[in-house]
């Protein structure tokens, strides 16, 4: 066997949010650490072609929409608003560079060796990167996920794009068809809708945001429809044919029926993501996968092979950057002999449309299916003073609490800054708080967070302002 170029306490494979955080925490704890990444910049999908660039475009497109349509309501007259798409893309690129450069700085600060290339296991204690062999006592697989393909829809990242292509379109399409009514499709559909595209969302199921609370999904569809987006629910795309001017889609009812054709300039395929394990040589190491192609792990992120661990999108659980980050910290602490832990009942999720959607814990549907007796308290932003001042009165806060113990089981928010408001609710659930605990906590006035307090009061039927 070839002598390794270097030997480490830990080699992390993948420098996305889970991987780079695991590497940094391990280095902080004194482990000699290296991290393998095939991209020329660190940060993985999230920082380079996912979370960060999409949020830059979401924020910029919201400001464009506001300048052109909303500021007059505040007594601000703006004339001659024009879209500078190259300038907006330049803003996105600067944001991405600042974030990826930041991770690069952190690697140098923590003396983490960066191995540029693709990793492949050659044995359970060895990997090969660009022809060089490296050994380690432990490995963490943090290779993330990529876009799920769809039969009959061939991606070229020009006319038929994934989220990667949708972040860099050279011009605003006249008609963008989004295949998939989940988080990615709605966020990027919102960007291009605000910039002037007609947007049609085709979703196989009978509602958008199918993993969210049902009431949230219904209200969000009404809001997005009012904003100009169109929806074809219970429908499936069976083929996509590229033409000289765009793409012709064949769309059929999910439960059978006559097909129709839809003409689009650009098609965004966003039906979900799948774990990325191609070319890792997991068979050489003996690492087992589950029926969905994810790396099998126990509660301590261990695979079936001693010394090999896995975190993030490549294992079971929600495919969220912050979930991967928490797992990265936990696995590093476990490897250093500490008690790393992740509470999967308190992982928030956010959809960065306008208004935002945020949730933590279980939905009403999940509680009913599990036979859990609960009480619900709801408060609309229409009755919140700060929301009125902001002209941001769409949406509500809903708190679900155990009918006997009053412990908070789930919180669901549609509204401005929902992604910030949910943090209080996550903290409450992390420490086992009751709805009464939230209701008895003094909230500053006037703030949007008062809606959270009022929803908690509403669990016991005593909301003040409705």
| Better-scored residue on pLDDT, 186 or 4 | 186
71 is in an annotated binding site: no
Concatenated DSSP letters for 59-100? HHHHHHHIIIIIGGGGT---------HHHHHHHHHHHHHHHH
- Judged against a pLDDT cut of 80, whether residue 2 lies above it is answered with no
Is the model's pTM score more than 0.85? yes
For residues 26-41, average pLDDT: 98
Pairing of strands 33-37, 6-13: parallel
How high is the pLDDT of residue 59? 98
For residues 384, 389, 390, 393, the Cα torsion angle rounded to the nearest 10 degrees is 40
417 is in an annotated binding site: no
DSSP state of 337: T
For residues 412, 415, 416, 421, the Cα torsion angle rounded to the nearest 10 degrees is -20
Q: pLDDT grade, residue 256 (50/70/90)?
A: confident
Rounded to 5°, angle at Cα 105 from 101 and 108: 140
For residues 82-90, average pLDDT: 97
pLDDT digits (tens, 9 = 90+) for 346-362: 999 999 999 999 999 99
- The span from the CA of 134 to the CA of 32, in Å, is 13
pLDDT digits (tens, 9 = 90+) for 200-210: 999 999 999 99
- Decide if 418 contacts 425 (C-beta within 8 A): no
For residues 376-383, average pLDDT: 98
How high is the pLDDT of residue 342? 96
163 is in an annotated binding site: no
In three-state secondary structure terms, 345 is helix
What is each CA distance from 119 to 28, 129, 345, 392, in whole angstroms? 24, 5, 33, 48
- Active-site positions? 445
Could you tell me what percent of the chain has a pLDDT over 90? Answer: 97
Which domains can be identified in the chain, with CATH numbers? 8-147+274-336 (3.50.50.60), 160-271 (3.50.50.60), 348-459 (3.30.390.30)
- Judged against a pLDDT cut of 70, whether residue 163 lies above it is answered with yes
For residues 150, 286, 342, 142, the Cα torsion angle rounded to the nearest 10 degrees is -60
How high is the pLDDT of residue 1? 58
- The span from the CA of 203 to the CA of 254, in Å, is 9
- Judged against a pLDDT cut of 90, whether residue 4 lies above it is answered with no
How many residues appear in the chain? 466
How high is the pLDDT of residue 272? 95
145 is in an annotated binding site: yes
In three-state secondary structure terms, 324 is helix
- Judged against a pLDDT cut of 70, whether residue 234 lies above it is answered with yes
- Decide if 141 contacts 310 (C-beta within 8 A): yes
- Residue 75: half-sphere exposure toward Cβ, Cα within 13 Å: 1
Computed over every residue of the chain, the mean pLDDT equals: 97
- The span from the CA of 174 to the CA of 194, in Å, is 12
- Decide if 402 contacts 437 (C-beta within 8 A): no
Enter the tokens of residue 443: 């909230």
């Amino acid at each position: 066997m070839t002598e390794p170029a270097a030997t480490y306490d830990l080699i992390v494979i993948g420098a996305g949010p889970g991987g780079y955080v695991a590497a940094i925490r391990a280095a902080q704890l004194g482990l000699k650490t290296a991290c393998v990444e095939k991209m020329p910049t660190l940060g993985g999908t999230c920082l380079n072609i996912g979370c960060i660039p999409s949020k830059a475009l979401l924020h910029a497109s919201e400001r464009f929409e506001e300048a052109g349509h909303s500021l007059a309501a505040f007594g601000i007259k703006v004339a001659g608003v024009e879209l500078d798409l190259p300038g907006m893309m330049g803003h996105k690129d600067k944001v991405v560079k600042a974030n990826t450069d930041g991770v690069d700085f952190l690697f140098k600060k923590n003396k983490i060796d960066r191995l540029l290339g693709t990793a492949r296991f050659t044995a359970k204690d060895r990997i090969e990167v660009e022809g060089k062999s490296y050994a380690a006592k432990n490995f963490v697989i943090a290779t993330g996920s990529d876009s799920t393909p769809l039969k009959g829809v061939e991606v070229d990242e020009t006319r038929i794009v994934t989220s990667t292509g949708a972040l860099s379109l050279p011009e605003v399409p006249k008609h963008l068809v989004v295949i998939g009514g989940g988080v990615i499709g709605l966020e990027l559909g919102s960007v291009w809708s605000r910039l002037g595209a007609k947007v049609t969302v085709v979703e196989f199921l009978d509602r958008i945001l199918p993993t969210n609370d049902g009431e949230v999904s219904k209200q969000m569809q009404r809001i997005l429809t009012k904003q100009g987006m169109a929806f074809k629910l219970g429908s499936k795309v069976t083929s996509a044919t590229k033409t000289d001017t765009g793409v012709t889609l064949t769309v059929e009812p999910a439960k059978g029926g006559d097909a129709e054709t839809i003409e689009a300039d650009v098609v965004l395929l966003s039906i979900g993501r799948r774990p990325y394990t191609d070319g890792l040589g997991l068979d050489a190491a003996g690492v087992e996968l589950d029926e969905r192609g994810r790396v099998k792990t126990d509660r301590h992120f261990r695979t079936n092979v001693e010394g090999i661990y896995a975190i993030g999108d490549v294992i079971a659980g929600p495919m969220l950057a912050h979930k991967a980050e928490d797992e990265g910290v936990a696995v590093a602490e476990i490897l250093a002999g500490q008690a790393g832990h992740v509470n999967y009942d308190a992982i928030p999720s956010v959809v960065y449309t306008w208004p935002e959607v945020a949730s933590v814990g279980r939905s009403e549907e999940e509680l009913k299916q599990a036979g859990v007796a609960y009480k619900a308290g709801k408060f609309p932003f229409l009755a919140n003073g700060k929301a009125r001042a902001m002209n941001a009165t769409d949406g509500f806060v809903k708190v679900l609490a155990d009918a006997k113990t009053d412990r908070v089981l789930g919180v669901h928010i549609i509204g401005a800054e929902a992604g910030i408001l949910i943090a209080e609710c996550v903290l409450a659930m992390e420490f086992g708080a009751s709805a009464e605990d939230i209701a008895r906590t003094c909230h500053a006035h006037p703030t949007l967070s008062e809606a959270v307090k009022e929803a908690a009061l509403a669990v016991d039927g005593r909301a003040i302002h409705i």
